[in-house]
Structure formats: C-alpha cells, structure tokens
A and B are shown apart, each in its own frame.
Chain A
Amino acid sequence: DAGVTQSPTHLIKTRGQQVTLRCSPKSGHDTVSWYQQALGQGPQFIFQYYEEEERQRGNFPDRFSGHQFPNYSSELNVNALLLGDSALYLCASSRTGVTNSPLHFGNGTRLTVT
C-alpha cells in the first residue's frame, strides 16, 4: 500500500522563477493538504484541496496556488519565487468522511531558491 508520494525530492530554482511540486495521496484518500516547513520551524498550512477545489487556505500570498486532479493527486505552484520560499514542502493526505482522519505525510520536496 503506497503512502503519500511527492516529486521531485529536491529542486533548485532562481529568484523570480516558477515551480510546480507534485503529490500523490495515499490509496483511499481524497483530500490533500500542503504545508511549508522552513528550517527549524514547524509546518505551516498553505491550503487544502478536496473534490478538485480549494477548501481552506492559510496565510500565504496568491503566488501560491494549487490544483487537484480527478485521481486526487495534487500540484502546488509557486510563482515569482523569493529567497524566503526556500523550505521543505510537505504534502499530506486524508480521507473525508472519516472523523478527524489523521494526516499522512509524504517525505517532502526540498526547494532551494538562489
């Protein structure tokens, strides 16, 4: 049973560029959440997708956008990259309808902006 998979594992971009990160949820899960984890910090909630729509959003600018596909996989897009966007980006999946279904996390994508 595959867990949450993220790609790529590492990525180096230049300021001003755009990046797309990908996530496949755990089998049986239909909800995907994205988190940003800066070095030495706890994960910060970016947004959550369910039924191909953004359902909740944290305190992140519009440069951060996402998408969910019919197979429940998801993408996180970041435009106009800043040095401060360097972080580990974590994808987590869960199952709607299961009371407080715990989040299952992938191993993350390490983004470095130079």
Chain B
Amino acid sequence: AQSVTQLDSQVPVFEEAPVELRCNYSSSVSVYLFWYVQYPNQGLQLLLKYLSGSTLVKGINGFEAEFNKSQTSFHLRKPSVHISDTAEYFCAVMRAGTALIFGKGTTLSVSS
C-alpha cells in the first residue's frame, strides 16, 4: 500500500521569502501525486498534480512541485510567498483506480 509523509508539520516564513514544503511517498508501483491547499473553514483545493511526463509541475497561485522518482519525493515550492498563502497544505498519492491517500498536512504561516 502507498503512504505519504509530510516532513514538516509547521513552516513559518516571512512574506516574499521562498518556501519549500517537503513530501515523501512510498509505493511499490507507479503512483500519481497531488498537492491540495485548505484555507480555514473550507474544503480542499487542488494546487497541482503529477500524472506523467515532465517532472516539474506548475500549479495555481505560483506554486510548483518536482517529482523525484529516485528519492520518492514531491516537494512543493514557491519563490515568493504572500500573506494570503497562509493555509494547510496536503500532499496526496494515488495508484490508478484506488483512493487518494493524504499526508498529515503542513501548516504554512506567512508573516510580514
């Protein structure tokens, strides 16, 4: 079975600084990878997804992630964060035809 580990539970950064949220996964077969964002009192919104092809994936709100098969990682990055990026971020993994499995989440706190 596949699983997801988000290596940081909380990441505090200053506005306009770069940020990286780390995600490792484990699976014995090929998987598809996703990042979701959850703002307070809301559901989850898809930021980006990796299905196949280019290992660098660009998403909404200036976020991007890089799929690294050898290191089984899918880290999320943004070169310059805004206050409005403060939210909970979830990495998720899925095998074809199976349910989406989420990590425990990383709280990104952006301060001025």
Residue ranges of A at the interface with B (Cβ–Cβ < 8 Å):
4, 33, 35, 40-45, 48, 56, 58, 90, 92, 99-100, 102-108
Interface centre among A40, A102, A106, A107 (most CB of B within 10 A): A102
A58 vs B96: C-alpha distance when bound (angstroms): 16
| B103 cross-chain contacts in A, Cβ below 8 A | 42
Contact assessment for B51 and A108 in the assembled complex, using a CB-CB cutoff below 8 Å: no
Q: Could you tell me the distance in whole angstroms from the C-beta of B65 to the nearest C-beta in chain A?
A: 14
- Smallest Cβ distance from A19 to chain B, in angstroms? 19
CB proximity to A under 8 Å, residues B61-112: 90, 92, 94, 96, 98-105
Chain B residues, Cβ within 8 Å of A92: 44, 100
Q: List 10 A-B contacts (CB under 8 A).
A: A42-B102, A42-B103, A42-B105, A43-B90, A100-B32, A100-B96, A102-B49, A103-B100, A107-B41, A107-B43
On chain A, the residues within 8 Å of B4 by CB distance are 42
> Cβ of A43: which chain B residues have Cβ within 8 Å of it?
44, 90, 102
B25 close to chain A: CB less than 8 A: no
Cα A83 to Cα B46 in complex, Å, equals: 30
Closest 7 A/B residue pairs (Cβ): A42-B102, A105-B43, A45-B99, A105-B44, A107-B43, A42-B104, A43-B102
| Whole-angstrom distance between the Cβ of A8 and the nearest chain B Cβ | 14
Q: A90-B44, A106-B43, A107-B42 are in contact. List 4 more A-B contacts (CB 8 A).
A: A45-B101, A58-B99, A100-B49, A102-B49
User: Would A56 and B49 be within 8 Å (CB), given that A42-B103, A42-B104, A105-B43 are in contact?
Assistant: no
